[in-house]
Structure 1
Amino acid sequence: MNASTADLPVVVIGAGPIGLAAAARLIERDIQPLVLEAGPAAATAVRGWSHVRLFSPWSEVVDPAAEKLLAPTGWVRPDGAAYPSGADWAGLYLQPLADVLGEKVRYNATVTGISLSGRDRIVDADRDAQPFVIHYTGPDGAEERLYARAVIDASGTWSIPSPAGGSGLPALGEKTAADRISYRIPDFKDLAVRARYAGKRTAVIGSGASAFTALAYLADLAKSDDGVGTHATWILRRGISGSTFGGGDADQLPARGALGLAAKAAVDDGYADAVTGFRTDAFERDTDGRLVLIGEDGRRLDAIDEVIVLTGLRPDLTFLGELRLGLDERLQAPTALAPLIDPNQHSCGTVYPHGAGELSHPEKDLYLVGMKSYGRAPTFLAMTGYEQVRSIAAHLAGDQEAAERVELTLPESGVCGGAGLFDQPVAAEETGGGCCAAPTTLTVGGPVSNSGGC
């Protein structure tokens, strides 16, 4: 790196929990950050699931370096034992942190491409000495350009939910049935949303914490005066086993364990029926306009009114096309990280803490962090992301001892090893893809959660 490049900022993409923590860690190391946020405020993705509670408490979702920046403003962390909702996390912590960062955060700045100055991905010559060049559109839609010494991509996976189709592609008829399909956990406190699902038959596709949340919400609705007749059909691509509902009472994150038990209760109490071994191939409409789901094996399910698809999230890699990435062919996670987060073997608590070394790419000083670092793998914890950016900031500051040091102990899920949190070992796309410290809930307003937004 030449002297002029060393004076450039480190560009952080995304003003969510991990992106803002990265900025705080860089400041702690006397490195200038510049955060580009596509939305109009901090934590745009988190605000997208504002009605859902995390199943990690406040004590585990505030980054220490960020708290140091906030302290001089009089900010006091909420009760460490309480569970914030997405709205709480964004409003009480993330936006105040972004406000402290001030002009170091640019809103309505959508990154459209990143490369090395004067070098496309083919050129080898003098590559490591070139700064990054970032193209983005500003608030007025005009294209702008800036340069950076390093790039930390914390843009998450919230913007690309996976489809219902069992092949990873949309099922036939899925796009034309869009008026009856939601790819997010509905907010059942909203009267219009309640009316949409009340008294209806709803298919929930997915087998992770987000699906658990939807099942629990629908069961709560069915028990209410305005929800008589509400029923869920839970669609799993494989079977139900002892680990399907997570760690239960053995989970060291009690709210996470309670979430799986709430989903199990929805089935046991008759508010949901489970359909196993069903991979959705097509959607058809019957004569009444209701949807009929057809499986790859030819099975046709009874007609339903609504579908909630919670089959995971995917990283947006389009704006990284001119950079040399080292990604696992299955998970789309950094090559060295992928074996550590393989859902065949790991749950949140069995992922070994990792940092700059595991997150590096062939392109020097480029890092994918947070949910995006997990690619299509689920069960990401906010604490894991905070450890990632602590290590990366140390590495960029030249402190290799700190970069390689582990400063994190994760809570066990109670279902470690084997299929982990899932009823089917492979399908990360079925888990509802989520941050183990972001959306999913027991009851409306209750203290639990998991999904994407970290």
Structure 2
Amino acid sequence: MLTPIESSVTLSVQNIDRSRNNGVIVSTSTAARPTVVIGAGPVGLAAAAHLVARDQNPLVLEAGPSAATAVREWSHVRLFSPWEEVVDPAAEKVLAPTGWVRPEGSAYPSGGDWAELYLQPLADALGDRVRYGVRVTGVSRNGRDRVVDADRQEQPFTVHLVTTAGVEERVIARAVVDASGTWSTPSPLGADGLPALGERAAAERIVYRVPDLKDPSVRARYAGRRTAVIGSGTSAFTALAGLAELAKQQPGSSISWVLRRGVGENTFGGGEADELPARGALGLRAKAAVDGGYAQPVTGFRTAAVEQENGRLVLVAEDGSRLEPVDEIIVLTGLRPDLSFLDELRLNLDERLQAPMALAPLIDPNVHSCGTVYPHGANELAHPEKNLYLAGMKSYGRAPTFLAMTGYEQVRSIAASLAGDREAAERVELTLPETGVCGGAGLFNEPGTQQGEADGEGGGCCAAPTTEHTANLEASAASSGC
């Protein structure tokens, strides 16, 4: 009788011979080896769709119990991009035989909408090519550790994983596309990039996500209390705007906004002149929270420690200065890639952004916004290990403002390269609007506030938005560093 892993991989990889040894399942076939895609998020599933279109053999490995596990964790956040910009063309072809109908193109989905109305149906359409409950623990060349040169490029990849039942497995793959994202590794509170002293001990009162203040239990956590928000990107703005609304309704609620830099004219973005109206509106809401006295900025503060004092938390800076005690801390200082399970592979990464070396200059957040990143593909994403690619948000390393459209173009090019179609791999098939594609959003779950419903305004970057819960696409509220 086949186990779930055996039945799934047997469907994806023909003529597999297997042996069991102390509970370890090992696949040893040399025929029809799959391209392993790590992560069943937007870009991972798109990668599988493009590989299917190229008659390749994808096997998507997802650690969570369903598709888009990370997206579901920010289901309350509405995207900056409309449906027409977050559905991959190859994925739509996979979905077509199921009778799937794309939602209205100009509407702006929430993370929950994206997962339930598109990503899970896509995973279902891919069938047994998608595996759930399997966490990748390591990737290497079969029989070759990082040091060995001999015949390295001729060896297939070996992908080690563990199931939710604790069973260890190994899959032999011809190629690997790591689209696991960065959601699981938020940056810590410490200004040196490491957890502040006492940060782990205070973990029960520190969160690294934008809170869903429409959830009664979450709302109760912050109502009537003082909260410190750490960060200066769009995620921090979203948290400030939401907490300010809470403070207006719940006496005793207050906010300390902690920044490592000062507050200047560009701190809140471009405002009404911002090329992305939703982003500008969000910055204005954060500014209103400060101007209205609901959030008190603390500038030039680089956290070194979190101390517990009389049941409350005290932030201590590197210079020894201390803030007044708070009850809760929200850390929104960005996300970073988990490279630990790729340690036996030879990667060519930019030392600062942890992005592929050829890609890093194109996505440097000091130079580029999401709408000015040049479309790129297999060439920019290649590493010394042939047929290994980091794609999606994972490819951006520590750079924020990743776009799903960019990720879809990445995996289209990667699939073409793996199929041997170099001309298609090098061809650019994505044109971004001049103002970018992360503009536009509506109030979450508020009737009559969807873009295009108010005052007859149309959607897109030129509409006048009202924003409550917004996030950069797929980065899922990934803030820029503060």
TM over 0.5: yes
Which residue in 2 is equivalent to 1:307? 329
Offset, 1:7: 3.0
1:348 alignment partner, SS class: coil
Written as runs of structure 1 = structure 2, the 5 A alignment for 1:409-448 is: 409-411=431-433, 446=468, 448=470
**What amino acid is aligned across from residue 384 of structure 2 in structure 1?**
P
Offset, 1:306: 0.9
Given candidates 298, 303, 306, the residue that maps to 1:280 is 303
1:350 alignment partner, SS class: coil
Given candidates 404, 412, 421, the residue that maps to 1:390 is 412
**What amino acid is aligned across from residue 374 of structure 2 in structure 1?**
Y
Provide closer, same or farther for how the CA distance between residues 159 and 233 of structure 1 changes in structure 2, counting only shifts above 3 A.
same
Provide closer, same or farther for how the CA distance between residues 444 and 238 of structure 1 changes in structure 2, counting only shifts above 3 A.
farther
Tell whether the 8 Å contact from 1:213 to 1:442 is kept in structure 2 after alignment: no
Offset, 1:447: 6.2
Provide closer, same or farther for how the CA distance between residues 441 and 334 of structure 1 changes in structure 2, counting only shifts above 3 A.
farther
**What amino acid is aligned across from residue 232 of structure 1 in structure 2?**
I
Given candidates 183, 203, 208, the residue that maps to 2:208 is 183
- Greater alpha carbon shift after TM alignment, 444-453 vs 13-22: 444-453
Given candidates 337, 346, 349, the residue that maps to 1:327 is 349
Deviations 1:107-138 (A, max 9, x none): 00111111111111111111111111111112
**What amino acid is aligned across from residue 322 of structure 2 in structure 1?**
R
Tell whether the 8 Å contact from 1:381 to 1:437 is kept in structure 2 after alignment: no
Tell whether the 8 Å contact from 2:403 to 2:475 is kept in structure 1 after alignment: no
Alpha-carbon distance in structure 2 between the residues aligned to 1:360 and 1:163? 29
Which residue in 1 is equivalent to 2:82? 57
RMSD (Å) for aligned C-alpha atoms: 2.2
TM-score with structure 1 setting the length: 0.89
2:79 alignment partner, SS class: coil
Deviations 1:30-76 (A, max 9, x none): 11111000011000111111111111111111111111111221111
Say yes or no: does 1:406 pair with 2:428.
yes
Say yes or no: does 1:352 pair with 2:352.
no
Q: Which has the higher contact order (CA 8 A, sep 6+)?
A: 1
1:323 alignment partner, SS class: coil
Provide closer, same or farther for how the CA distance between residues 124 and 441 of structure 1 changes in structure 2, counting only shifts above 3 A.
farther
List alignment gaps of at least 5 residues for structure 1: 415-434
Provide closer, same or farther for how the CA distance between residues 233 and 112 of structure 1 changes in structure 2, counting only shifts above 3 A.
same
Alpha-carbon distance in structure 2 between the residues aligned to 1:72 and 1:442? 34
2:297 alignment partner, SS class: strand
Larger Rg: 2
Provide closer, same or farther for how the CA distance between residues 15 and 285 of structure 1 changes in structure 2, counting only shifts above 3 A.
same
2:75 alignment partner, SS class: coil
Offset, 1:143: 0.7
Tell whether the 8 Å contact from 1:154 to 1:371 is kept in structure 2 after alignment: yes
Which residue in 2 is equivalent to 1:47? 72
Alpha-carbon distance in structure 1 between the residues aligned to 2:251 and 2:443? 19
Alpha-carbon distance in structure 1 between the residues aligned to 2:225 and 2:434? 37
- Greater alpha carbon shift after TM alignment, 304-313 vs 172-181: 172-181
Offset, 1:404: 1.3
Written as runs of structure 1 = structure 2, the 5 A alignment for 1:82-101 is: 82-101=107-126
Tell whether the 8 Å contact from 1:55 to 1:447 is kept in structure 2 after alignment: no
Offset, 1:84: 1.0
Which residue in 2 is equivalent to 1:245? 268
Which residue in 1 is equivalent to 2:294? 271
1:7 alignment partner, SS class: coil
Offset, 1:252: 4.3
Alpha-carbon distance in structure 2 between the residues aligned to 1:441 and 1:237? 30
Number of corresponding residues: 427
Which residue in 2 is equivalent to 1:425? none
Say yes or no: does 1:123 pair with 2:148.
yes
Deviations 1:355-398 (A, max 9, x none): 10110000001000111101111111111111110111111112
Tell whether the 8 Å contact from 1:180 to 1:305 is kept in structure 2 after alignment: yes
Written as runs of structure 1 = structure 2, the 5 A alignment for 1:136-151 is: 136-151=161-176
Provide closer, same or farther for how the CA distance between residues 151 and 410 of structure 1 changes in structure 2, counting only shifts above 3 A.
same
Offset, 1:452: 3.1
- Greater alpha carbon shift after TM alignment, 102-111 vs 66-75: 66-75
Deviations 1:263-320 (A, max 9, x none): 122112222111111111111223x322121111222112211110011111111111
Tell whether the 8 Å contact from 2:337 to 2:398 is kept in structure 1 after alignment: yes
Alpha-carbon distance in structure 1 between the residues aligned to 2:427 and 2:405? 15
Alpha-carbon distance in structure 2 between the residues aligned to 1:348 and 1:137? 35
Provide closer, same or farther for how the CA distance between residues 322 and 346 of structure 1 changes in structure 2, counting only shifts above 3 A.
same
Which residue in 2 is equivalent to 1:9? 34
Tell whether the 8 Å contact from 2:255 to 2:295 is kept in structure 1 after alignment: yes
**What amino acid is aligned across from residue 386 of structure 2 in structure 1?**
K
Which residue in 2 is equivalent to 1:222? 247
List alignment gaps of at least 5 residues for structure 2: 1-28, 447-467
Tell whether the 8 Å contact from 1:252 to 1:411 is kept in structure 2 after alignment: no
Offset, 1:443: 6.4
Tell whether the 8 Å contact from 1:251 to 1:413 is kept in structure 2 after alignment: no
**What amino acid is aligned across from residue 298 of structure 2 in structure 1?**
V
Tell whether the 8 Å contact from 1:56 to 1:253 is kept in structure 2 after alignment: no
Identity %: 73
1:367 alignment partner, SS class: strand
Written as runs of structure 1 = structure 2, the 5 A alignment for 1:152-171 is: 152-171=177-196
2:471 alignment partner, SS class: coil
Tell whether the 8 Å contact from 2:259 to 2:298 is kept in structure 1 after alignment: yes
Alpha-carbon distance in structure 1 between the residues aligned to 2:100 and 2:184? 31
Which residue in 2 is equivalent to 1:427? none
Alpha-carbon distance in structure 2 between the residues aligned to 1:368 and 1:116? 16
Which residue in 2 is equivalent to 1:342? 364
Alpha-carbon distance in structure 2 between the residues aligned to 1:244 and 1:355? 32
2:470 alignment partner, SS class: coil
Alpha-carbon distance in structure 2 between the residues aligned to 1:272 and 1:447? 18
Offset, 1:411: 4.3
Alpha-carbon distance in structure 2 between the residues aligned to 1:105 and 1:334? 26
Which residue in 1 is equivalent to 2:403? 381
